[in-house]
Structure 1
Amino acid sequence: MIDLGVKYTGGTAGAADTSLSPVKIGFVNQQGGTPAFPEYEAATEAAVQFANEKLGGVAGHPIELVKCVLQTEEDGQKCGAQLLADPEVKIAILGTSVVGNATFYKTVNGKFPVLVSAAGGVADSTTPHVYELDGGSAAILQAFAATAKAKGAKTAAIVSTGNAGGKYVAGQVLDPGMKAAGITPKVAYVSDTATAPEYTSAMQAAGAASSDVVVLIASGADMCVNFYNALAEVGSTAPVLTAYGCYGDPVPDATGGGPVGWTFFGLNENQRAATSPEASLYRAVMQETGKGEFTNVAAAPMAFADVFAIAQMANKLGVDGLSGSAYEAAIKELTAPLFLVPGNIKCGSYPDPAQLGLCGDSAAVSIYNGSEWEISEPFKAVTLK
């Protein structure tokens, strides 16, 4: 496990020297209110602890997180100012947030680069000096349509969360994407607090019982469980396509280990996969650092991966060579493999200008085969320039 960590961080086995000056990483995340995403903080903390205790930190110096919480739009300015006030912060991670992102980036104004673990708004993908190391939701949405077409589907029932993000994804991105692939979609929405009968009604409204594929855009693992139960209620046996939100802990418990016949698309390799050395390391570290309850929540592994990527860059640059501009140059030189990230990496070269900050070209693909979770070949969404 330590050798694998050293491979991805460029560190040295052993503990960092706490008497040396820390290498600081800013960390901004939405939590403490509604909605909240504490899993990204947990994964970031676990990666930092593991790197400091087992991987030599950065060139023997301990890594230190400088944290700030987003709960309102105004907090973006507060967090930007806080990190700028610390001259030792040369790079930051934004876990995920649906408020304050644009204001945070505007305040930082490119003084240092920001890695986004999971995009929560348009600004995360369109702001200069802001990067997402994977293929993002753009790759996942392309994977939905392409996979449905590959399965020979002519019709698709799409059941989506009815919040603003879900309506945008299902109605303005996935619906036209399916049509472009020659598939006729029908979309139905449910609230994030929908009851079991509401899921059944949504399934019926979307025509799930007679559709060739069924697509779920979920806001959380509980929604995946309700959706699974509703499938049986309406009698649908069609293949199901969904995303990383359905990796969550309630899903295996409610489905007898996992839902057979579902294909999962993610930002990172499925952290449940038994055969992935990277996923095994991630699971072990989350447990050993007391963060186990957050292991399988959403795309928490991407926050973990962001710490490893920063450590890798910092070890190459050297502690005396760290600066915002040096980190940004190093980000643009990152190549695969990165920890848990599928496909190729070339930051700043995404062909779609609306996805300025995406670095990866693929979505992770996995299934549950009836006994374990398997990683399939990544879906290559684009050719990086």
Structure 2
Amino acid sequence: MRQASRVLLAFSVALSVAIAGAGCTSQRGGSSGGAAAGASATHLTGPPVTLGFVTIENSTLGSYPEPRRAAQAAVNYANAALGGVGGRPLRLATCATDGSPESSQNCANRLVAEKPIAVVGGVDFGTQAAMPIYEAAHIPYVTGSPQLSGELDSKNAFALSGGSVAELLGLTDYLTATRHIRSAHALYVDLPGLLTAAIKGSQNVLRKKGVTDVRLITEKSDAADFAPALTQAAAGNPDAIIVVFQAAACARIVQAAAALNIRSDIYFVGACATPAVPRAAGGRTDHLYFASSYLPVGSSGGDADTVAYRKAVPEADRTSASQGAFSAVLDLRVLLAKTPQPTSDGLLTALRATHDQPNVMAHPYTCDNKQIDIFPAICNTGIRLLRWKDNSFSDVTGTWQDGRQLITLIN
């Protein structure tokens, strides 16, 4: 199992950098209480309950402001419609990193000085360097879109979705157990070293699940033309083409797939489940599928929290990271509202005691450090399969997929 741990760790890091840097319980998501749960913002009294928030912005490595905007939208919604935290206003203290370990440490120190009950993570490549600061301050780090190992293996961190790791495991389980595929070709971002370990792990899982034709094709994230790589991936008309890239590249990939008239089903991880990607296909979306840690927002319907998200977050900002930020803030509000005098230590205890806790727009979570043993921070491994239909994402199966048991097949 030690070798499996090393391979899966390399796999998760490679996958997360590819997505972020190169650019059985209820089948419904949870609810934060609905609009009738509390007083209006004008009736909130007492000192504010502060949450910290960190994400990378305006950096050469990338810029992800949409999770911050979604987190602020959740705070506004909580204060206006949900009674804040037990009648006290909720407040967001934010800090932007440049993706370096030093800037993440600087943000951690700045946020700790704000005395937050918890810090919510958006997308930050230097999280691992910041975690010791949060741990020393006994401040829980909570994220709805975990990216790198610092967010996955710290016992002071709580990932309320499994992020890319859970999405790929769940997708593999769906393809092998439900679709019973026999051929799978994967198009991955080119990350030498880490990607080699990742490929070996993913090949082993697919082959042990009966997939006899497994081919892996790499390409640069900023490739001038994805057509040659896609032509290789589509050779032989495989049952599934699995794409692991960031959203900007995914949009170009679906454009190329449409131009090449590729007929194989193409499956993307959740980072690409943003409206811009299927829209880039020019109407050829019948064979595009997305593994997402969150329920589809859709153009209408959903519970009060989903409606609030759709109303407050512009379509261009609707990514897995922004859904994760919105969800995490509201999930924390629920736990904090149960405590007369909320504290960081009290919240740590409450998080560790959760069991099938309702999760806004996501599968219920259990933070027992046992969902995926080698990544104790992960509290939830459920994903949904989505497709683009009638100008919005819709659910494919109506059930949660969970592939965490496949970890035993990594070696």
TM-score strictly above 0.5: yes
Matches within 5 A, 1:12-51: 12-17=38-43, 20-33=46-59, 34-51=61-78
Instruction: Please show how residues 162-311 of structure 1 align to structure 2 within 5 Å.
Output: 162-163=190-191, 167=195, 171-183=199-211, 184-195=213-224, 198-220=225-247, 222-256=248-282, 259-272=285-298, 274-277=300-303, 278-286=305-313, 292=314, 294-311=316-333
Residues 247 and 270, structure 1, Cα contact 8 Å, conserved in 2: no
Distance apart, 1:306 and its partner CA: 0.7
Amino acid at match of 1:160: Y
**Counterpart residue type for residue 349 of structure 2:** A
Match of residue 354, structure 1, among 374, 377, 395? 374
* 4+ runs deviating over 6 angstroms: none
* Cα distance, 1:359–1:54 mapped onto 2, change above 3 Å: same
What percent identity do the matched residue pairs reach? 19
Name the CA distance, whole Å, in 1 between partners of 2:315 and 2:187: 28
Contact 2:294/2:320 (8 A) holds in 1: no
User: Corresponding residue for 1:312?
Assistant: 334
CA contact (8 A) 1:251 1:258 kept: no
Give the alignment's TM-score, normalised by structure 2.
0.81
Match of 1:377 in 2: 399
State how far apart, in whole Å, the 2-side matches of 1:206 and 1:143 are: 21
Preserved CA contact (<8 Å) 2:123 2:321: no
> How far apart, in 1, do the equivalents of 2:280 and 2:171 lie?
24
- Return closer, same or farther for 1:211/1:258 CA change in 2, 3 Å cut-off: closer
Give the Å deviation of 1:168: 6.9
Residue pair 1:258, 1:370 contacting (<8 A) in 2 also: no
| Aligned residue type for 2:83 | G
- CA shift in 2, pair 1:163/1:117, >3 Å: farther
Count of paired positions: 367
- SS of the aligned residue for 2:349 comes to helix
Deviations 1:330-379 (A, max 9, x none): 1123333211012x421124343221111113112222346653223110
Tell me the SS of whatever aligns to 1:68: strand
Q: Is 1:159 matched up with 2:159?
A: no
Matched residue, 1:135: 162
1:98-137 alignment, distance < 5 Å = 98=125, 100-110=126-136, 111-137=138-164
The aligned amino acid for 1:269 is: L
Structure number with the bigger relative contact order (C-alpha 8 A, sep ≥ 6) is 2
Q: Aligned equivalents of 1:282 and 1:38: distance in 2? A: 16
Q: 1:261-311: per-residue Cα shift (whole Å, max 9, x none)? A: 22211121123364433433311122xxxxx15432343111001110111
What is the identity, as a one-letter code, of the residue corresponding to 1:247? A
Q: Does 1:333 align with 2:353?
A: yes
Corresponding residue number in structure 1 for 2:4: none
Paired amino acid for 1:43: A
In 1, Cα distance between equivalents of 2:151 and 2:291: 20
Secondary structure of 1:379's counterpart equals coil
Name which of structure 1's ranges 31-40 and 347-356 shifts more when overlaid on structure 2. Answer: 347-356
Q: Work out whether residues 52 and 119 of structure 2, in 8 Å CA contact, stay in contact via their aligned partners in 1.
A: yes
**Unpaired runs of at least 5, structure 1:** 287-291
Q: Residue type of the partner of 1:73?
A: P
Q: Which amino acid aligns with 2:328?
A: D
- The CA deviation at 1:155 is 1.5
When normalised by structure 1's length, the TM-score is 0.86
> Are the equivalent residues in 2 in contact too, given 1:263–1:367 (CA < 8 A)?
yes
Q: Residues 172, 85 of structure 1: CA spacing in aligned structure 2 closer, same or farther, 3 A cutoff?
A: farther
Point out the more displaced range, 173-182 or 305-314: 173-182
CA contact 1:6–1:13 (8 Å) conserved in 2: no
Q: Give, in angstroms, the shift of residue 144 of structure 1.
A: 2.3
CA RMSD, Structure 1 to Structure 2 (Å): 2.7
Structure 2, gaps ≥5 residues long: 1-29, 406-411
Tell me the equivalent position of 1:69.
96
Q: Relative to 1, partners in 2 of residues 1:276 and 1:17: Cα closer, same or farther, differing over 3 Å? A: closer
CA contact (8 A) 2:258 2:282 kept: no
Alpha-carbon distance between aligned partners in 1 of 2:319 and 2:166, rounded to the nearest angstrom: 20
Q: In structure 2, what is the equivalent of residue 289 of structure 1?
A: none
Determine if contact 1:349/1:359 at 8 Å carries over to the other structure. Answer: yes
AA in 1 matched with 2:110: Q
Deviation, structure 1 residue 203: 1.5
Once the two structures are superposed, residues 240-267 of structure 1 have per-residue CA deviations (whole angstroms, 9 ceiling, x without a partner) of 2112222223234333567212221112
| Partner-residue secondary structure (3-state), 1:26 | strand
- Give SS of 2:119's match: strand
**What's the counterpart of residue 3 of structure 2?**
none
Q: CA deviation at 1:207?
A: 4.2
Any conservation in 2 of the 1:26–1:89 contact (CA below 8 Å)? yes
Alpha-carbon distance, 1:137 to partner: 2.4
